[in-house]
Structure 1
Amino acid sequence: FFFLTPLIYSQVIWDPLYNLSNTPSATSDYHAVHSDENGNYYVVWGDNGDIKFKHSSDYGLTWSPNIIVFTSNNICGWPVVKSNQNHVYVVCHQLAGDYEILFRYSSDYGQTWNTPQIISGMDDGSITPQLAISGSDIIAAWERRVNNFYDIIYRRSTDHGVTWSPEGNISGSLGSHSRWLQIEAAGSTVFCTWLESVTYPESDIYFSKSTDGGETWWLTPPPITNDPRPQNRIYMKVVSENDIYIVSDDIITFNFDELYLMYSSNGGNSWSTPSNITNNAGHSNTPCLEVIENNLYLTWADNSHTAPAYDNMDIFFKWSSDNGVTWQDSINLSDNPETSSRPRICSALFITLQGVIWADFTVVWYDYSTGDAEILARNGTQIIVPVELTSFTSEVRGNDVLLNWTTASELNNKGFEIEKSQKSKDKNQKWEKIGFVEGKGTTTEEQIYSFTDNNLAQGIYQYRLNQFDFDGTFEYSDIVEVNINSPGEFYLSQNYPNPFNPVTNILFAINSSLFVSLKVYDVLGNEVASLVNEEKDAGEYKVQFNAEGLGSGIYFYSLKTGNNILTNKMLLLK
């Protein structure tokens, strides 16, 4: 529960793992996943030369039966799935005389499929395809072996894959090996990254983009790394047209890789320095990254936990709330004595009927814990509570100060320390703890709190709240300031609570017997209420204002005595 950030996060809660493919005596591997914001999750995988498909419409809770998308006398593999509303697209490569790229399309979430088609040249050495969706356009890209080198080839379709543009070359025939491409889109901007290698295993990460839906690309793709560490694989996550993440699997020594994270905030024009985000003694590989509400969620395969033998890989997961600077402790999702490989994440947000926001994850991988290669999965959820200090106000009552604050919701909130400082010219401002108010733990209900600081001497005081979680985490609120005036001074306090619905209190004081007018106005200057309109003796007064018949919005209340006028603003929220 934090004041200075818009969202707070609990730990991820994981369900038991389950078998997603359920194909005994088969080899289910080299899968891919896709998810949309409506909780549709898609998984495809290779299965003894066929390509199979599954769909979940409820965030991975239940799944359709296995559907065969591609089957032939040839071996199909390396499938990729993407969707656009009810439209689902799958590509894979097929080994005929040589490799070629197959494409298939469904308009009903994968229940039925059109006729498969070859979208590369026949038997032309095209492998490892990828897909990107840019608006209503599809961009398919793959590697093609040309003169013993690999180039990145692409085609576009504007009619769900019925017709395709001529082939284009993204990598630009660099005369080396362009491998392991990733392609993603944000709006009409399409991004592509890959590994460029002249001599194995030396390689660097290259990057290109198109701002017209894949029609044209950067003419000379630039490298975004130039270091002695060769890369083995990469994973790209595009959040927006500006925000892009790349996680690379860097070879440190034989069978010892580390994962490095790079970030661009300007559409790939410049990149952060790669940072090591695993930094362990094992073999970290095949990363996958998701980004939800500015949090990073990473999954990968690793064998560091089996040191010194390093005899099997498991699937790990961790997350970061500060753009990858620090990470929560990792959790072993597979945790079995057999090898687990190539994790991928489906994710989405959903809101319960009670208004609680959850992030949902389904991590999918393949392993041999059942005796055969199978596609396994685990579902995880994380509560996300929108938290803000909706109000923090102060009012003076003679020589006392009343502090009022309101929270919209709370998670793990132990309570609030109230701190005070007397304002002075001394730059080394000193704060003292003057009280503590218990919080409500975890709640999505609005909570109202108050605290009174009594018998203050004349002066200017500042107050702040220090909110503590049960785990010791704390965060400071903004500062409010009050002025304890000399006795008998004329003043008008801030109403409390503020915002309010529909009743609030207004305090004022006058220093002699005077005719007093206290009125409320809307933003157009129309009078909507007259609260006081009579002679008053010197002293302090409290008036209640009921806005039952008024609409939500900003209102002004004005105190007038003789030539003195004071006006404050208040907010009615219904």
Structure 2
Amino acid sequence: MRIPNDSWVILAVVVLSVGLLAPARSLSCITDYSAEPSSGLTRNAPPRPVLDEAQGWTQDFILSNPASSIARSPDMAVDGSNIHVVWEDWRMISEGKTYEVFYRKSTDNGATWSEERILSNDDSECSGNPQIAVENGTVLVVWNDCRGSSIFELYYAKSSDNGQTWSENIALTSNDGSNSEWPLVAMRGDKVHIVWGDERDGQYEVYYRNSTDGGVTWSEDRRLTNWTWGTDAPHGLDLNESYVHVLLNRYVGNWESFYIRSNDGGVTWSSPVPVADMDGHNSEPCAMSSSGSTVHIGYVDWKLGPLEVFYGNSTDNGTTWNPGRRISKGSVEAGSCDIAIGPPNIHFVFYDKRHGDSEIFYKNSSDMGVTWGDEVRLTYADGVSAQPEIGVNGSYIHVVWIDKRYSEPRTFYKRFPEFGPDTVRPTAPTLLSASLMNNSQDVRLSWAMAEDEGFVGGTSNYLVSRAEDIGGPYSAVAEINASGTSTYTWTDIGVGEGDAKNYFYYVESVDASNNTNRSGKAAKLNFHLDPGRHLLSVPLVQENESTPTVLQTLSYDIAWSYDSIGKDWKKYSPFRSPDGLIKLDHKIGFWVNVTRESNLTIAGLVPTLTTINLSEGWNLVGFPSFNSTYSVSYLRVEVGASRVEGYDSLPPYYLRLLGDMEVLQAGEGHWVKLETDIVWTVVD
């Protein structure tokens, strides 16, 4: 695995300006992301995930969900069907935004994922560069952290139960006033090996520690490099039997890729040897993996002009090295590679900027690096895709990377092969409101992000459907791509007050397999009223229930309702101060005196269940339901009503006794007389 560092894009400037004075750190092949967020948290809805571009691969799934996060430096370890992923993330934790180390796992080859877990303590702003290793259910994560100062030290956390529970954070390096950064970790059985960059000697050198009891106790720190110009942090670490392989950068007038090894489990070490051509062009390693006596590496090199990705190997455990082979295709820029071995296959990922923004590409060799297949482009969304990591388990290939398609960088995952037939419905979205907008001419719907959005098999887009009757038929009128925002809105233009029709809506979550799940319903209702008295109700849950807002489209001079608890009348007039009737919710009935022919147009959510507290005596109530079979006789049985009256257009009382077979109507008000207090439950 490679380790992120300062952006390589400044390398030419550094080398030209310092002459023979080497910079303290080499310049990584990893695309750099700003430590501060950009001005917007989300961009316009991205293209819908494409399944047929990378044949056989799943769509892209977000592992780091919050829109306000800035993720970077992912790492992955695969142990059978268990996939463990860590990354650093700058987001709101506790009382402020900090960089912390986050962890998620899958126990079914990426089909489902655990909730996020913070592994670093919430006590600094600079927990980062996490690296992870796993062996038979033991998981170890190491990272650099600047607790209580601006100096980085190394910490680790361990799980002995496949990531279910974790130890406290344990310091690996002492606070000696010098930085210890960019760790790499590898584990076989109970043997754990760690290398990192350390500047205790005045410049960055590579240091090493190991544990023979699974991280309970550790050897003393050991310095592995000693070079006049300074050596950057290690860029690769792998184990094979008694061999410990390390890749690093060395400054020799320009940056070159070097290798050191131990053939006795870390007791003694070789001197550094170059693994790429020493031709005066900058190179930097970014990945290493071994199988048998063959050590496979990836590195970037400027030898051909633009930055390109190369593959190299040694077939004698690092004693000699074969010439490198270009993997990328002569693009504008390529880099940030990783390697995974599943003999006889080598799996290779890297980013490439040939299409503008950097995208993730994959290549495979089925004969241990002798020949290579065609490359496969894995990402297609707008925005930078970089920092890929790859892991294999049998026929499964897993890739994680950092992606800026939603403006801020987030951690993404995909795998090969794609999942089998998916018949699981996604999580339904929750409608939040429906309201009139733009002088009551339009209807705006608002809903919360589905809880499974961004997860494997979860919601990938939303469909808004509309009908003129609550029972349908419904037709899709809008499709909105899932973009990771917490709240979505959509506006139906021109269907408000100026449209006499009633409209009903619902929103569906749709996943990549076109499974769907519906929200509740919303509606826009239009009641045409002649001048005079009317007994009405509002059968929708509105975003704003204030009386003037509810009646905003109606021409009237007074509205009034009866308070059955206080046994008094409450009134509202647009021409005088309110007299108690400050809101009109979906539970009450009310009178209104219309002054000229006009429409009462309302928009809101269709209630599914409403409880209305009824008092002894007369109650003026609404009927917040669109159940077309609910009769007066049902009401009498349910609440014990002795008398039910409804609207009549004739004076003086504008009321009439309702017969038992008459059906209650949404939007009408009703007088209900009871002999005792009771709760009326209305189901739509």
Both proteins in one fold, TM over 0.5: yes
Identity %: 25
CA shift, 1:324, in A, is 3.4
Equivalent residues in 2 for 1:23-422, closer than 5 Å: 23-36=66-79, 38-48=80-90, 49-74=99-124, 75-95=126-146, 96-122=149-175, 123-173=177-227, 175-199=229-253, 202-218=254-270, 220-225=271-276, 226-240=278-292, 242-252=293-303, 256-304=306-354, 306=355, 310=356, 312-349=357-394, 359-381=395-417
Unaligned runs of 5+ in 1: 1-10, 350-358, 384-574
* 78-87 vs 129-138, greater mean Cα deviation: 129-138
Are the counterparts in 1 of residues 78 and 392 from structure 2 also a CA contact under 8 Å? yes
CA shift, 1:187, in A, is 2.0
| Runs of 4+ residues over 4 Å off in structure 1 | none
Are the counterparts in 1 of residues 197 and 207 from structure 2 also a CA contact under 8 Å? yes
CA shift, 1:175, in A, is 4.4
Are the counterparts in 2 of residues 43 and 53 from structure 1 also a CA contact under 8 Å? yes
CA shift, 1:325, in A, is 4.3
Counterpart CA distance in 1 for 2:313 and 2:285 is 17
Counterpart CA distance in 2 for 1:12 and 1:216 is 47
Are the counterparts in 2 of residues 154 and 169 from structure 1 also a CA contact under 8 Å? yes
Are the counterparts in 2 of residues 179 and 196 from structure 1 also a CA contact under 8 Å? no
Unaligned runs of 5+ in 2: 1-53, 91-98, 420-684
Tell me the TM-score normalized by structure 2: 0.50
Tell me the TM-score normalized by structure 1: 0.59
Q: Alpha-carbon deviations, 1:523-565, whole Å to 9, x = none? A: xxxxxxxxxxxxxxxxxxxxxxxxxxxxxxxxxxxxxxxxxxx
CA shift, 1:300, in A, is 0.7
CA shift, 1:134, in A, is 3.5
Are the counterparts in 2 of residues 171 and 178 from structure 1 also a CA contact under 8 Å? no
Are the counterparts in 2 of residues 140 and 154 from structure 1 also a CA contact under 8 Å? yes
CA shift, 1:135, in A, is 3.2
CA shift, 1:233, in A, is 3.8
Counterpart CA distance in 2 for 1:374 and 1:163 is 35
2:84 alignment partner AA? Y
Q: Alpha-carbon deviations, 1:452-495, whole Å to 9, x = none? A: xxxxxxxxxxxxxxxxxxxxxxxxxxxxxxxxxxxxxxxxxxxx
1:332 alignment partner AA? R
Counterpart CA distance in 1 for 2:362 and 2:296 is 17
Number of paired residues? 353
1:268 alignment partner AA? G
2:135 alignment partner AA? N
**SS of corresponding position for 1:179:** strand
2:661 is matched with none
Counterpart CA distance in 1 for 2:391 and 2:188 is 19
**SS of corresponding position for 1:140:** strand
Counterpart CA distance in 1 for 2:312 and 2:81 is 28
1:39 alignment partner AA? S
CA shift, 1:140, in A, is 1.2
When residues 216 and 382 of structure 1 are mapped into structure 2, their CA distance, relative to the original with a 3 A threshold, is farther
Say which structure is richer in strand.
1
1:373 alignment partner AA? P
Are the counterparts in 2 of residues 180 and 234 from structure 1 also a CA contact under 8 Å? no
**SS of corresponding position for 1:291:** strand
Counterpart CA distance in 1 for 2:273 and 2:407 is 45
Counterpart CA distance in 2 for 1:230 and 1:155 is 29
CA shift, 1:173, in A, is 4.5
When residues 12 and 293 of structure 1 are mapped into structure 2, their CA distance, relative to the original with a 3 A threshold, is farther
RMSD: 2.0
CA shift, 1:245, in A, is 0.6
Are the counterparts in 2 of residues 172 and 221 from structure 1 also a CA contact under 8 Å? no
Q: Alpha-carbon deviations, 1:266-302, whole Å to 9, x = none? A: 1011111111121322211001112222122211111
Instruction: Say which one has the larger Rg.
Output: 2
Counterpart CA distance in 2 for 1:161 and 1:327 is 39
Match of 2:63 among 20, 40, 56: 20
Are the counterparts in 1 of residues 58 and 418 from structure 2 also a CA contact under 8 Å? no
CA shift, 1:73, in A, is 2.7
